[in-house]
Amino acid sequence: MTSARRTSNFPGRTAGDRPGSRDKEKEEIWKPMLDNFSSGKRLPEKSLLILGGTPESQREFLESVSTDPASNRRPPDRGRKPPVANQFALGYTYQDVLDTDHEDTLARLSLYLLAHPSPSFTPLIKPYLNPRTLPHMLVVILLDWNHPWLWIRQLRDWIRVLRSLILSLDDASKEVLEDNISTLQDKGRGGGGGGGGSEASGNSGIDHVKIPMGRGEWDEPLGIPLCVVCQNADKIEALEKERGWKEDEFDFVLQYLRTILLKHGASLVYTMPSAPGSLQTLIHSTLGIKSLLKQKQLKHNVTDRDRVLVPPNWDSWAKIRILREGFDVEGVSNNWAVDIDIPSHMKPVTNGQAPSETPAENGGPEQSPMESEEARSATSIYEETIRNPETDYPLTTLNSKQTNGIEVSSKDAQKFLTEQLGLLDVLRREDDNEAKVKAARKKDDPAYRTWADDASGVVEEHIGPVQFNMGGIQVNADEMVKRLQDREANRTSEPDSPSSPPANDQDPKMDNDKLMSFFSGLITKTGNPASNGPR
């Protein structure tokens, strides 16, 4: 019986059978079941590509994204807080998007951070742009209200980077981008979508009516949704007080940004650390992350200059012109298409030939981007209106010799102190020589008086005699000084007796006794002898 069980459990080998075949059959039965169960529990994966800013401003953005706009508080952390690595090149972190009650996790956000639009760093992004991630990705460009004069140049550099990356993708990824463009252009454009975002309601037939796109809208689609975040909007008040900005400057900046972003179908939002506003709602709605308990609607705002919100597929040229008359929407839109043309050094290599070796279309040498767009540059037009104070008054000119004599070159601290020490020695020697000359003149001519002495006499006549209290008695200081001078003069005029020792060899105790007797006599003469005599 035992041998039969062993035989049934371990059958002999045949030509078409291999060891463990039944184990594989069991594995094939359980694997689909486990995969189906795990796929039902798998969190939706979303990606954020954050471009621009500094490591500090990027961290502020991450805090704003995770902050609940209703209570301005971060949701409770579950377990260990994920670290943020954004000090070098391409940074990374992740966040879990919680529902309104902070109980259910709606999605997992993977955040990639890049601060500099350097061609050396941009290839690091390419592996994360693939057919699996592109439908669930949002690109965020960070701008700072501390430097609004740099915004258009920064936007131009980042758009060029994105376009060069898109051109370098494979065919499968480009097909996904084409599908994304169609989806993004139709998103929120239904007749019943009043909010201008992805929360256009329901299943009514009117939602399927598409509103045609206007001029300048989606002229330069990227295939990836784009959101521009202008941080530190609380600095707007400082620009008004310190830089003298008026409403014209703020409206010009807003119109310029909206015109540019309209070509890419992008959204715009102003934020500040104390009030992130609708940033979280805008990002979640763009990525398709919807709460199971409460649907948050996007409401556009272009009137409050520190709380601007322009949802995607909401803006138009007519709305931009309403803000302030006289703005050239067509000119800015046309010039921007020239600005974002990819330079030759950023174009991907084609046919085994480097971009610099590709001849120009007209048969001549290729013209540099700066030379070709100098006359029609949207960036230069913006920077002529919004002046850069660092360029108008550059700090580097302080080191150059100017003819007006206002700017001077600074010296090393140790070298400067060494020179000052030499000057002090010269002045000290001059003072010593002058003192010796005065002493010699006074010795030769007792009636010699300097200007300082004359000035001292004038002051004495103006303020009167100087008196002080000694033992309850007012003593005239001038009279006391005069008596001391007379006493010293009488002592020097009398010949020294041969028996008396030199003045320098006298006992200090005797000098103290003489001074004590002198002051005692002075007090006795000026006061009551009975009460103010020596004690």
Say if residue 63's pLDDT is above 50: yes
Q: For 59, which DSSP code? A: H
Position 442 scores a pLDDT of 75
Is residue 357's pLDDT more than 50?
no
Helix (H/G/I), strand (E/B), else coil: 316: coil
The pLDDT confidence band at residue 298, using thresholds 50, 70 and 90, is: confident
Give the span between the Cα atoms of 463 and 140, in whole angstroms: 77
Q: Please, what are the domains in the chain? A: 41-199+209-347+367-392 (3.40.50.300), 418-464 (no CATH), 465-489+507-535 (no CATH)
Mean pLDDT of the chain: 75
pLDDT computed for residue 34 by the predictor: 66
Instruction: Give, as one character, the DSSP assignment of residue 293.
Output: S
Q: What confidence score (pLDDT) does residue 75 get?
A: 58
Give how far Cα 295 sits from Cα of 281, 302, 348, Å: 10, 23, 43
pLDDT at 160: 94
Q: Confidence class of residue 76 from pLDDT cuts 50, 70 and 90?
A: low
pTM, 2 dp? 0.62
> Helix %, strand %, coil % for the chain, to 5?
50, 10, 40
The C-alpha atoms of residue 91 and residue 105 are separated, in whole angstroms, by 24
Q: How much of the chain, in percent, has pLDDT values that exceed 90? A: 32
Put residue 223 in one of left, alpha, beta given phi > 0 → left and psi -120 to 50 → alpha: left
Instruction: Output the pLDDT for position 69.
Output: 60
Residues 54-68, mean pLDDT to the nearest whole number: 86
Q: Average pLDDT of 221-228?
A: 94
| Range of weakest confidence among 100-109, 171-180, 276-285 | 100-109
Residue 176 has pLDDT above 80, yes or no: yes
- 503, pLDDT greater than 60: no
**Banded pLDDT at 225 (limits 50, 70, 90):** very high
In whole angstroms, give the CA distance from residue 312 to residue 237. 27
| pLDDT digits 0-9 by tens, 397-451 | 434 444 454 556 778 888 888 899 999 999 999 999 888 888 887 777 766 666 5
- Counted residue by residue, the chain has a size of 535
Task: Reply yes or no on whether the pLDDT at 365 is more than 70.
Answer: no
Residue 209: predicted pLDDT: 59
How many of the other CB atoms lie within 10 Å of CB of 298?
Answer: 24
Nearest CA-CA partner of 446 in 438, 458, 436, 454: 438
Q: Please say whether the beta carbons of 156 and 379 come within 8 A.
A: yes
- State mean pLDDT over 371-378: 59
Helices (H) and strands (E) in the chain — how many of each?
Answer: 17, 9
pLDDT greater than 90 at residue 509: no
Tell me how far apart the alpha carbons of residues 160 and 292 are, in angstroms, rounded to a whole number.
Answer: 38
Phi, psi for residue 277 in degrees, rounded to 5: 65, -135
